[in-house]
Chain A
Amino acid sequence: MSARAGILAAIRANRPAGDYPLPTVPDFTPLVGDDLVAEFGERLKRMGGRVAEPGSADVFAGVRERLDAAKVVASAVPELAGNRDLQSVRSPQEVEDVDVAVVRAVFGIAETGSVLFTQDELIVNAVAYLAQHLVVLLDPADILPNVQAAYRRPEFARSAYAVLHTGPSATADIEGVLIHGAQGVRSLTVLLVPR
């Protein structure tokens, strides 16, 4: 018998007695107030992320210093050129030296301060982890109230890769001391920029 057949047969033979219907998940009232932008920002900051206001003349004013200090900027958004073309990257290792990556989020979640990316926004998935810093453009109109609303979105069923980022890479594995940039990005900054 194949392992597959054996496992399925054992599961059928050992099925616990009783009737266990699949519960319906009720609509939960969002835990956040009506000002989703403020709620999102506040929660993102608690998760170690930053929020920067776009300048009137320069959308990237809030992260200009960081961009100017960077040697390699990989941009996946039309709003910024950058100097590393993600479209022409052949293997993920090539983005290893990126200082700042700029990407657009599909949506944000106010309940947690999270943003969602799929392979389409990232172009090279690894850039969101190998870069030293991540700058995220988020349309304020794209902020959902809660996690439940997020999982009703179609991206999860159709993307090869979808990921919620909530602040930067973090660890506290040594005596509970919080450290950003464990393996992935050292910082994550969200710029509220309409599409």
Chain B
Amino acid sequence: MSVEDLNPRARDGVIHPEVRAPHDESERAQDGGRLQHAEAASKPIRAPQTREKQPRGAKVRGDRPIDQAEAAERFLAAPLHQAAHDERLWDLRKKRDASAHGIPEWEELREIASAIKAHTLTHLDHYLEQFEAAAKANGVHVHWATDGADHNRIVLEILRSHGARTLVKSKSMLTEECGFRHHMAANGIEIIETDLGERIQQLDDEEPSHIVAPAVHKTRMDVAEVFAKTLGTDPDNDDAHYLAESQRETTRPYILKADAGMTGCNFAIAETGTVVTCTNEGNADLSGNVPPLQIHSIGIEKIIPKVEHLGVFIRLLSRSALGSPITQYTSHFRGPRKGTEMHMVLVDNGRSARLGLEEFWTSLKCIRCGACMNTCPVYRRSGGLSYGATYSGPIGLIIDPTFNKRKYSTLPFSSTMNGSCTNVCPVKINIHEQIFAWRKVLVEEHQIPALKQGMMKAAGAVLSRPAAYRAAIGAADSALKVLPRFAVYNPLNTWGKKREMPDAPRQTFHAWYKQNRMKDTGR
């Protein structure tokens, strides 16, 4: 099924005509043509000038289950933000399609990437040991961290032993997972994010809302407001070039003065002990090449066996994420620069346990491209912060519960089950099937008290045969015609309202909410 079914107007290339920009500010190519590489939109998209307060994310109250629908409803109540967000992510999805269609072996590449990951994950002990040995031979200090707290403690020790007080870093979902910034702030270490989107989020004291485009839920007016407050820019100037330049000018002194630099890791090559990062801004290269002390944080699932395998993933990653054939920078850090130290921290934080979850271990194949988020109708209409978790969108639904079953017990219900995520995933994770499997687990474990047992059974009958399900969806061209309607609409009418859906249930949000969703889940 395609998302067009849920977005009839998307066929014309525009979902929200109100966010068409009056003029185009994007960079031009040498021949004068409009450029759309990196995460650039394929056409100018601009939220209307009318000021609309930025909707904030889900309310997080300790371990209490996140109420994603409540936050989603607030996002929908900010129509300018919602429209710009939806348009922008749908645009990325279309850029991804065009890019994928340009490669005849695309499906074969996905198969191979998925198989390389399956192999590596089932031999992870061997490859981690190989990676460690290679890195040590390269003169790198290798550390192992059981969880986020362990990671933060190790990094703090490294920094303290060098008398380091400031650290510049590039974007890393792993360090978000570890609550790294907050922990370091509490210990007197100043952390500066160098990615523009991530820096916007840091200055606004918000988590990243998207794993590739952290500030995609903000309009230029929101950014102007944040920068005016924190960087002293002109509050009335919301020109994107001015705002980006202001960030460049104010971040560079930190990069030059920093005692240490840190990057995350997109791929870690066992054979050579190499950490690979993919960025468009070049900020991982600045973080790794300027300060005298260099730290790379690596999730243990990032390992791939050999350099030749990297080619497969590099060809898939940026095309899936942005529709660009490659990121502007693909950096391979293998050994320290003369006179400096290089540290690598291998972090588990629940990954080895996830490996033992029969139905869910393949979620470890994820290369964090964000394609499943861009294509997800729920995500596009509710914003990443509505999930109240480090990972949002379809991939978040299947890995967040492994971090905290109670807190994230409701997230797997934030899906239309349209299967679009599974179709775009470059490493072929059966995302929507895992979403359904989580629903079952959470019901069985009473994280969702007696939630519609009958409904689960009925949907289960269809979904328990994935091949049949996919075939049926393909033939019917719509999940609506295959699944019981609640499985599709639960709780779609939050996100589907204001959409022209032929069969949308005639129910108000509140009526639906009372009926379909246990507000006090797990209490």
Contacts and interface: CB of A to CB of B under 8 A. Distances in A.
Interface of A: 2-4, 6-8, 10-18, 20-23, 25-26, 28-29, 31, 43, 45-51, 91-93, 96, 111-114, 119, 125-126, 128-130, 147-148, 150-152, 156-157, 159-185
B468 interface: no
Interface stretch (B118-126, B182-190, B413-421, B422-430): B118-126
9 contacts: A3-B348, A10-B353, A10-B355, A16-B356, A111-B325, A147-B326, A171-B280, A172-B26, A177-B240
A10 to B, nearest CB: 4
A161 B3 CA distance: 42
Interface centre among A157, A169, A182 (most CB of B within 10 A): A182
B332 A159 contact: yes
Contacts of B285: 125, 128-129, 163, 184
A14 B351 CA distance: 10
Given A14-B353, A125-B289, A183 B144 contact: no
B334 interface: yes
Contacts of B25: 177
Contacts of A157: 271-272, 307
A18 B194 CA distance: 42
B7 interface: no
A30 to B, nearest CB: 11
Contacts of B207: none
Nearest to A6: B146
Given A15-B355, A92-B290, A171-B196, A166 B35 contact: no
Interface centre among B104, B223, B280, B337 (most CB of A within 10 A): B280
A2 B144 contact: yes
Interface in B37-86: 37-41, 44-47, 84
What 5 pairs across the A-B complex have the smallest Cβ distances?
A: A176-B41, A184-B282, A14-B356, A160-B335, A178-B40
Given A11-B124, A161-B334, A162-B334, A167 B37 contact: yes
Interface string B215-255: 11011100100000000000000001101110010011001
Contacts of A160: 138, 333-337
Given A31-B104, A176-B40, 9 more contacts: A12-B125, A25-B308, A129-B285, A129-B286, A152-B308, A161-B334, A170-B280, A171-B196, A176-B88
B29 A45 contact: yes
B223 to A, nearest CB: 5
User: Main SS of the interface on chain A?
Assistant: loop
B107 interface: no
Interface centre among A6, A16, A29, A179 (most CB of B within 10 A): A179
B312 A25 contact: yes
B290 to A, nearest CB: 5
Interface centre among B197, B282, B331 (most CB of A within 10 A): B282
B222 to A, nearest CB: 9
A87 to B, nearest CB: 12
Nearest to A41: B30
Interface in B304-340: 305, 307-312, 314-315, 324-337
B337 A7 contact: no
Interface centre among B44, B251, B326, B337 (most CB of A within 10 A): B326
A156 B119 contact: no
A148 B281 contact: no
Contacts of B121: 16, 20
A19 B46 CA distance: 50
A180 B326 contact: no
Contacts of A184: 281-283, 285-286, 329
Nearest to A155: B332
B214 interface: yes
B1 interface: no
Given A48-B29, A96-B256, A10 B282 contact: no
